[in-house]
Chains A and B, each alone.
Chain A
Amino acid sequence: EVQVVESGGGLVQPGGSLRLSCAASGFTVNSYYMSWVRQAPGKGLEWVSVIWTGGSTSYADSVKGRFTISRDNSKNTVSLQMNSLRAEDTAVYYCARDVGKPSDYWGQGTLVTVSS
């Protein structure tokens, strides 16, 4: 059975760091492109970052230089290291595979709150 479970969310102060993790089961993360997508309170979906099957990465302009996506094939996980966090990074963060394709699958999300 396919499962994607996010963890690592929580409350962090502005300027702080947080690392989100996405644990996959039922498939191997290096066989799909894996994305982080977020939804801020009262806002729409925003794609944050993606790691492609070949290992290359892409980022939204809003997080470029602050966030880093990585993949651990041995643990079958994808992570999002978030540094220099801002209030506007407050959102539910979803981990998803193959967004936009019939093989897509999403986790239930983890909440990140950036506040003093």
Chain B
Amino acid sequence: EIVLTQSPATLSLSPGERATLSCRASQSVSSYLAWYQHKPGQAPRLLIYDASNRATGIPARFSGSGSGTDFTLTISSLEPEDFAVYYCHQRSNWLTFGGGTKVEIK
């Protein structure tokens, strides 16, 4: 099983600041890495697929990068609606999620 480790567990930032989230895989997942945003009471929302492709309707302030074992999700300037939990997900070998990074208001 491929283990995805996300860091940090919590990110305390103010609106307008830049957020950088990390996801490290225990073995290569090539580019089969996605990022999800999850808010309480809602279904998870796909932000990025295949490491760097924005999903339909996702604002340009969200960007993804990386390949192999190290990946990054960047939110260039946080909007109030961006405070949520973010998960990385791999579909290279079965399916797994990372433990999540909570982006909270500072």
Listed in ascending order, the chain A residues whose CB lies under 8 Å from chain B are: 35, 37, 39, 44-47, 50, 58, 61, 94, 96, 99-102, 104, 106-109
Interface string of B16-30 (1 = CB under 8 A from A): 000000000000000
How many B residues face the partner with a CB closer than 8 A?
25
Contact (Cβ within 8 A) B43 A109:
yes
Contact (Cβ within 8 A) A35 B95:
yes
A45 to B44, CA, bound (A): 9
A-B contacts at CB below 8 angstroms, number: 59
Contact (Cβ within 8 A) A100 B89:
yes
Report A-chain residues with C-beta under 8 Å of the C-beta of B91: 99-101
Distance of B84 from chain A, by nearest CB (Å) = 13
Listed in ascending order, the chain B residues whose CB lies under 8 Å from chain A are: 1, 32, 34, 36, 38, 42-44, 46, 49, 53, 55-56, 85, 87, 89-91, 94-100
List of 3 A-B pairs having minimum Cβ-Cβ separation, nearest first: A106-B43, A100-B34, A100-B91
